[in-house]
Amino acid sequence: GGSTLAGAPAPLGATALPDGGVNLAVATPSRGVSIVLWSEDALIGGRGNAKPSAEHELSPEEHRTGDVWHCRLTADMLKKGNYSYYGWRVTEPDGPRPPAAPPAPPGPPPVLVDPRAPGVGTAARPEFGDVASEAEGGLWPQMAGVLPVGAATVELPEFDWEGTRPPRHAREDLVVYEAHVRGLTALRQTEEGDAKAGTYAAVKDALPHLAFLGVNALELLPIYEFNEVEHYKLLDNGTTRLNFWGYSTLSFFAPMARYSSGDGALTALREMQEMVRECHRLGIEVILDVVFNHTAEGNEMGPSVTFRGLDERSYYVMAPAGEHYNYSGCGNTFNCNTPLARQFVLDCLRFWAIECRVDGFRFDLASILTRSSTRWDGESAYGSVVTGGHSGHGGDGDGRPAAAAEYGGGVYTGTPLGAPPLVEAISRDPALAHVKLFAEPWDAGGLYQVGSFPCGQRWAEWNGKFRDDVRRFLLLPGGGGAISDFAKRMCGSPDLYPGDRGPKASLNFVTCHDGFTTADLTAFNERHNMANGENNRDGEEHNLSWNCGEEGPTKNVEVRRMRARNRRNLMAALLLAHGTPMINMGDEINHTKGGNNNTYCWDTDVNYLPWDVLVSAGSRGNDARAMLRFTAGMVAFRKSKACLRGRNFPGHDQIEWHGDFAGQPDWEDTSELCAFRLFEEGGGDVYVAFNAGGVARTLELPHLGGGMRWDVVADTGAEAPFDFLRSDLLQDDFMNAGVPLVGARREAIAEFGHVRVLKHSCVVLEAVPHNSHELATDEPAYI
Amino acid sequence: GGSTLAGAPAPLGATALPDGGVNLAVATPSRGVSIVLWSEDALIGGRGNAKPSAEHELSPEEHRTGDVWHCRLTADMLKKGNYSYYGWRVTEPDGPRPPAAPPAPPGPPPVLVDPRAPGVGTAARPEFGDVASEAEGGLWPQMAGVLPVGAATVELPEFDWEGTRPPRHAREDLVVYEAHVRGLTALRQTEEGDAKAGTYAAVKDALPHLAFLGVNALELLPIYEFNEVEHYKLLDNGTTRLNFWGYSTLSFFAPMARYSSGDGALTALREMQEMVRECHRLGIEVILDVVFNHTAEGNEMGPSVTFRGLDERSYYVMAPAGEHYNYSGCGNTFNCNTPLARQFVLDCLRFWAIECRVDGFRFDLASILTRSSTRWDGESAYGSVVTGGHSGHGGDGDGRPAAAAEYGGGVYTGTPLGAPPLVEAISRDPALAHVKLFAEPWDAGGLYQVGSFPCGQRWAEWNGKFRDDVRRFLLLPGGGGAISDFAKRMCGSPDLYPGDRGPKASLNFVTCHDGFTTADLTAFNERHNMANGENNRDGEEHNLSWNCGEEGPTKNVEVRRMRARNRRNLMAALLLAHGTPMINMGDEINHTKGGNNNTYCWDTDVNYLPWDVLVSAGSRGNDARAMLRFTAGMVAFRKSKACLRGRNFPGHDQIEWHGDFAGQPDWEDTSELCAFRLFEEGGGDVYVAFNAGGVARTLELPHLGGGMRWDVVADTGAEAPFDFLRSDLLQDDFMNAGVPLVGARREAIAEFGHVRVLKHSCVVLEAVPHNSHELATDEPAYI
């Protein structure tokens, strides 16, 4: 030791210095710490045997300020050692191991990844899911932070945004597309010069598809460094199970290195920035799905990879003996309302928002951010830990005794706070004021905050009730008794977001990565998760789905037609409702996961977007292209109508409810019809009718004065291209053969002042001047 | 506009870039901002007419990220314009002026000081209190932040700490000296080469005095930039009133420029660092008195100098119409629990702790840090402001209607929080883990938290009850009925700090900058504050003081002797008690403020340490030197005895209570005697007896076995040098003429097993081996 300079305690993490050196600083109350250095060869080339190139014990006098350990590596040192990666080793912890933890494994303590490393290198695993190296590196191979500069690493110049600007769409104008970097791009047809499949760079090649669809925000499943082999299991049937989705973060400042097409951990950061730049160039915002509710380190039996070894009790919600609370359902709970964790999350968000120009964040199990911490509690505020007695919200569901440590003012560990300091800090941070915030407003500990997420002025919520109520009304028999709830969801959920929150607080979705796809929602009554290796016990049990008569694949044309109709209904409900719609990747082309509603583990076609259907022959290709056209059409129609995207809930002047007869809605629980008219300022009102029942109906249309008539925009009861008739709104209508027939249908409606809505279908009309559109003579057969 | 580069939103403030440029960033939700630049000549030379050298309107597209405005000045720009100072001008605020605020003054909006400026330059006032320039610059002359580098400013090299290390004394070993930079040094005799009086640099010349005294921590009254002319008033008697103390901060990252001996605002920072370094070299820690409870901007009628113009509602606790809450008694209240203010305070503390190696902070009116904010409240968490109804703790004492804005979970504006996020963040910050934290645990809004300041494991409290109870017992007739409280204070206040907090939570003091000096406490029954110009209504009314028979100066020798005896009693109580003692500057040499107990405004001898008494002839000089010797002796004795500095409260094994007879204490309210023995591990027990009554007593001493006898250490009833007899503990006993007599007194005590305690005096004995110390034959007359 002793050959490193003292360095400075701020900023935390690795900081490039103007002289070519690097300052390193990490917060840990440990009493002995050493800095560990690797060359690229030693770490990456070392594979299962990644011995450090150098290690220096730091002196508490020189290298410690408060609970921050720090040192400075000179350019000379870096060059001489050819160092590219670093880590910290705690040689003397600040206290004994918690009683609940197993004995320390033999050998020296592990080298820990710096929580603020801007990139992570992983010994023994250059490629995503490379389980071949398992024998060498283990499920937890040595990982290390990348040094931002140094002789062995090319210094990155300031990133060139090439004059692009973040789109900054209004929240009510957003149409979100939820995707997974690898899932989106793994099957992307490669042309000459295309980027490597499964990478940030390949996302660029997927953007024209998104642009055609008309979405203007891309929400990415976790892209922070995770260990995709964490859940690795070789199943009986010979398949391997991984952590594909990535909801198990290892390093929050580091873009997932194995989503990078190049070598070197810093390349990932650059490619991530390039991806954002190319999205912005097309007017598409980038939203990151971030997982601050737990980490990859598991419960008290888990490995020490980063946080645990540095300051376990500050980063995790723990009982006095060291057991981890499990509000996340994933073994541990990030201790969001300790000052250290708060600052960490805030700095992390700033990094991604400022350095990578990320436009928004979706917080996984965000309710955990509202829970009070352990840490102050007994230990600090009151002198000794209070045990027994109250269980508060502290039960972890494992039958473990709830440790009730009192928090200032009578708040117990895990109690949801009225004004959680972290949520407040995120909401009010000046550097994040432009950033869109989405909460998944619940957690796995039973906290459900749909409609009540704190600091709600700044936050939209994943509206789980939208998902459930739309499914109930459209898929369950007799409208599921959900007419009233469905109507509220179509209005942006005024029951959930009253006052100033408004429809913009509602992130509407019917399907997402978790659960059935839209195709499966209309083809399966039950989950089919046997392949996951947990005897079909995992995944959501109550899916509110309808197989339309047969379970799974079928050759029955009637069943298939009904499924298609319901797919369109669900998509129409999503895109016609007030609030911000989110489309699940693949639903626009009928992607099926074969009835598996919990596909976190599959690095296979199950989770890959099937690009081939866009060009393949046969009914699968045709159906996929039809759905794509319908979806793109509905997105375009939404964008063309301000009355579908109000900042406020539609009031009496903006909405009018109808039924079989105009102005006579049926609000009985048995109702299967939801029809309404939205008034568009300046003309062009919209009429929508969902018939959730099994019988076709003829509805009286509301009167239109002033030389206007109702014209059909969409009819989900019809097959493409008659399901969406505003070809003019599509960038490129590859089914325009149907257009001559369209006019006739329109004329029929205009003549009779009524509209026919087939069973399980939806019509969308638009008020147009009488003289608009050409007329044709034939009528389609299906009226 | 447009000629500045975009810059980056992080870090906030002014940051020197490796290429010689500067990045500037400020948090404000304003819709229009310009950056204003000055050359040294334009700002400082401009005096009352300090016109900017340049001003650039920033573009919201280029220069705004969220609510952070930023720009980058190139080295070329800086050089070309010769710019040394900068400020921000809000050209378009984010909303209308609050209804309660007066109309905006005519002319362009003011240039605002960056809250994170590392130094402040002030047009028209190079010297402290230069009121001659008042006509030119007004009471609020133009102030501006200093640019950290630039062509016109010499770039400061990394500060050289010359191998010094922060002392890191244990909290129980600390002896604090509270002083004011200008007050300490204004009258410092200058020798050839001495620093300019009144500056950080001059503090170095005062350090030998502190070293002789034996104190190991220097607590400085506010040294953050303030406007000393803020309260300027020319009084009827021709004197001028200033803000001398400085409890009215203008810029929290900038050391007070007019405490600097050199030119250029950055020189102040360097001199401040040098001061800390020289303290550390002598083993003296530096503690800053920081004022985060309010700022210099006053209430809604006050000027816009920095925070108000940038984001008034985030930085201040305000009612909906814009009135300021006044928990500080100074017009406004810093909104400590908004995220912006929290981050600001935290970053500020880190700056001083890391860059300036400050060892601790004393938080003025710290209870304000525990109060809930306005801001979220109605506006954000609940959609609209709740008014009327509850007043909670919200009354500001001005008869103004209390605006009751609800905070999450039913907390109203200003309610003390059980786990205030700011206090928690400070307490747990890794970079501040080594820093000592002292709370003044009350505020001017009626909140009194002595014994209950949150997160108390990390915090010591200014123990106001120590001050009061010691005064009551020693100065009020009949021991003030305070025997029991006095005994608790001597033990470190176990009633206030039970459990793990212990004596280290108690910052003991009898006097401080605010209120009577020790000399005045024993010479005045009433305050004498007429000179302050408020008809003697200002300042504390209840002083628990005793003039010893005559009010104010007297020639009566008996009265003067009694005063001296009481001065020694008060100092002895302070230095013999468990906890951390703090000595008020000047009390060690009998400094008087002539009975004025609220001298915040006097830049005169009233607040200057009278260095001349250390060398002057006559009784004033003699008395001062005697008190200095006694104080230094008692400090040294304290340091020599672990039993006076326990980490824990003395238990039954550590303390034994006595009275006229050994083992028979008198705990009646009428008791005037407090006597106890502390057991010193390894021998050398201490016996202490305070006789607060007007009659001398003879006390039976507890038995000492094992060849030990009681020996006298101090007797406050005796005149110097007989008041302190352990000459051997003093670095240099300039009164050693008295030593031959000492032995005789010791022998007398040893013989009889009793000790005589004169009226209003205290004896301190020590157990020593029988054969220690030489014996003499005579006995002093006073036994």
Q: Quick one: pLDDT band at residue B390, thresholds 50, 70, 90?
A: very low
The span from the CA of A136 to the CA of A659, in Å, is 68
Provide the number of CB pairs (under 8 Å) joining chain A to chain B: 174
Q: For the packed helices B618-640 and B557-576, what is the interaxial angle rounded to 10 degrees?
A: 20
Picking from A338, A344, A317, the residue whose alpha carbon sits closest to that of residue A116 is: A344
CB contact (8 A) between residue A375 and residue B428: yes
Q: Which residues of A touch B8 (CB under 8 A)?
A: 354
Q: What is the pLDDT of residues A602-654, one digit of tens each?
A: 999 999 999 999 999 999 999 999 999 999 999 999 999 999 999 999 999 99
- What confidence score (pLDDT) does residue B232 get? 78
Kindly indicate the confidence band of residue A99, based on its pLDDT and cuts at 50, 70 and 90.
very high
What is residue B778's predicted lDDT score, i.e. its pLDDT?
44
Given a contact cutoff of 8 angstroms between Cβ atoms, the answer to whether B152 and B82 are in contact is: yes
Q: With contacts defined as CB-CB under 8 Å, which chain B residues touch A457?
A: 379-381, 383
- CB-CB: which of B380, B408, B433 is closest to A66? B433
Judge residue B511's burial from the number of C-beta atoms within 10 Å of its C-beta, 0-12 exposed, 13-18 middle, 19 or more buried: buried
ipTM exceeding 0.90?
no
Query: Residue A197 has which token pair?
Result: 């499949």
* Residue of B45 and B25 predicted with greater confidence: B25
Of B314, B379, B430, the CB nearest to A340: B430
Distance CA(A589)–CA(B351), nearest Å, equals 55
Q: What is the pLDDT of residue A155?
A: 47
> For residue B598, what are the CA distances in angstroms to A341, B594, B604?
44, 11, 13
The partner residues of B5 in beta bridges, in order of sequence, read B72
- Band (pLDDT 50/70/90 cuts) for residue A457 is confident
Contact A410 B429 (CB under 8 A): no
What residues of chain B lie within 8 A of the CB of A432, using their CB?
66
- What is the rounded CA–CA span in Å between residue B39 and residue B51? 10
Crossing angle of helices B200-213 and B265-281, in 10° steps, is: 20
**Is the confidence at residue A420, as pLDDT, over 90?**
no
Residue B522, phi then psi, degrees to nearest 5: -105, 10
Mutation target for A interface from B5, B31, B61, B65: give the one with most A CBs within 10 A.
B65
Query: What average pLDDT score do residues A482-511 get?
Result: 96
Q: What is the share, in percent, of chain A residues with pLDDT greater than 70?
A: 88
Contact check, Cβ <8 Å, B383/A499: yes
Q: Please tell me the predicted confidence (pLDDT) of residue B190.
A: 58
For residue B519, pLDDT beyond 50? yes
* Closest of A32, A12, A34, A33 to residue A24, by C-alpha: A12
Percent of chain A with pLDDT over 90: 73
Looking at residue A19, its pLDDT comes to 81
Rounded-to-integer distance, Cα B626 and Cα B201, Å: 28
Q: Spell out which residues of chain A touch residue B63, defining contact as CB-CB under 8 Å.
A: none
Q: Choose, from A40, A285, A323, A440, the residue flagged as catalytic.
A: A440
Q: What is the mean pLDDT of residues B751-776?
A: 81
The two three-digit tokens of residue B94, written as one number: 């984010």
> Is the CB of residue A63 less than 8 Å from the CB of residue A73?
no
Give the span between the Cα atoms of A105 and B337, in whole angstroms: 43
Query: What percent of chain B shows pLDDT beyond 70?
Result: 88
Per-residue pLDDT at A748: 61
Q: Which of A424, A496, A500, A649 to mutate to test the interface with B (most CBs of B within 10 A)?
A: A424
Cβ atoms of A314 and B428 closer than 8 Å? yes
Residue A44 pLDDT: 82
Judged on CB neighbours under 10 Å (0-12, 13-18, 19+), B380 is buried
Report the sign of the C-alpha dihedral through residues A607, A613, A617, A619, in that order.
positive
d(CA B644, CA A391): 43
> What does the DSSP 8-state code read for residue A102?
P
The whole-number pLDDT of residue B388 equals 33
Q: What is the mean pLDDT of residues A163-180?
A: 96
pLDDT of A750: 53
Place of tokens 């014990």: A57
Is the pLDDT higher at A679 or at B188?
A: A679
Asked if pLDDT for residue A104 goes beyond 80, the answer is yes
State the nearest Cα–Cα gap between B74 and chain A, in angstroms. Answer: 16
Check pLDDT > 70 for residue A782.
no
Predicted confidence at residue A54, as pLDDT, reads: 96
Predicted confidence (pLDDT) per residue in B80-127, tens digit: 989 999 999 999 999 999 999 999 988 999 999 999 998 999 887 878
Average pLDDT over residues B278-286: 98
- Residue A258 and residue B577: Cα distance in Å, rounded? 63
Residue reference for tokens 């010094």: B164
pLDDT number for residue A426: 96
Q: Taking the mean position of all CA atoms in its chain, how far away is CA A416?
A: 23
Interchain proximity A339–B425, CB inside 8 Å: yes
A180/A715 Cα distance (integer angstroms): 31
| b/e burial code for range A211-242 (CB count within 10 A of at least 16 → b) | bbbbbbbbbbbbbbbbbbbbebeeeeeeebbb
pLDDT(A399) > 50: no
Q: Which residue of A has its CA nearest to B422?
A: A339
Calculate mean pLDDT across residues A27-33.
97
Alpha carbon distance A80, A85 (integer Å) = 14
Average pLDDT over residues B760-777: 77
Confidence of residue A195 (pLDDT cuts 50, 70, 90): confident
pLDDT per residue as tens digits for the range A732-777: 877 765 555 555 566 566 557 899 999 999 999 999 987 665 444 4
Active site residues of B: 364, 440
Do the chains contact at A427 and B340, CB–CB below 8 Å? no
Is B431 within 8 Å of A339 when comparing Cβ atoms?
Answer: no
Q: pLDDT tens digit string along A335-377?
A: 998 999 999 999 999 999 999 999 999 999 999 999 988 764 4
| SS3 of A200-265 | HHHHHHHHHHHHHHCCCEEEECCCEEECCCCCCEECCCCCEECCCCCCCEEEEEEECHHHCCCCCH
Instruction: Judge: A65–B431 Cβ closer than 8 Å, yes or no.
Output: yes
By C-alpha distance, the chain A residue nearest B8 is: A354
pLDDT level of residue A190 (50, 70, 90 thresholds): low
Residue A578's identity, in one-letter code, is H
Q: What is the pLDDT of residue B135?
A: 61
Between chains, do B339 and A433 touch, taking CB under 8 Å as contact? no
Q: CB–CB of A342 and B427 under 8 A? A: no
* Each residue's pLDDT tens digit, B562-575: 999 999 999 999 99
**Closest by Cα among A462, A486, A487 to A476:** A486
Burial of B462 (0-12, 13-18, 19+ CB in 10 A): buried
Q: Contacts of residue A456 in chain B, CB cutoff 8 Å?
A: 381
Report the pLDDT value the prediction gives residue A152, as an integer from 0 to 100: 39
Per-residue pLDDT tens for A297-345? 999 999 999 999 999 999 999 988 999 999 999 999 999 989 999 999 9
Q: How confident is the model at residue B138 (pLDDT cuts 50, 70, 90)?
A: confident
Distance from the Cα of B354 to chain A's closest Cα (Å) equals: 7
pLDDT at A385 over 90: no
Nearest to B500 among A66, A67, A383 (CB): A383
DSSP structural state of residue B355 = I
Residue A378 has pLDDT above 60, yes or no: no
Structure letter (DSSP) for residue A687: E
Quickly state the pLDDT bin for B743 (edges 50, 70, 90): low
- Cβ within 8 Å of residue B379, ≥6 positions away: A457, B385, B405
Question: What gap in Å lies between CA B605 and CA B609, rounded to an integer?
Answer: 7
A86 to chain B, closest Cα gap in Å: 21
pLDDT digits (tens, 9 = 90+) for B586-638: 999 999 999 999 999 999 999 999 999 999 999 999 999 999 999 999 999 99
DSSP per-residue letters across A309-342: HHHHHHHB-B-TTSPBP-TTSSS--B-TTSHHHH
Interaxial angle between packed helices A339-350 and A421-428, expressed in degrees from 0 to 180 and rounded to the nearest 10: 20
Q: Given an 8 Å threshold on Cβ–Cβ distance, is B28 in contact with A419?
A: no
Mean pLDDT estimate for chain B? 88
Task: Dump strand ranges (E) for A31-175.
Answer: 32-39, 54-57, 64-65, 68-73, 83-92, 111-112, 120-122, 143-146
Q: Note the Cα B161 to chain centre separation in Å.
A: 25
Give the other-Cβ count within 10 Å of A129's Cβ.
17
Mean pLDDT of A512-525: 98
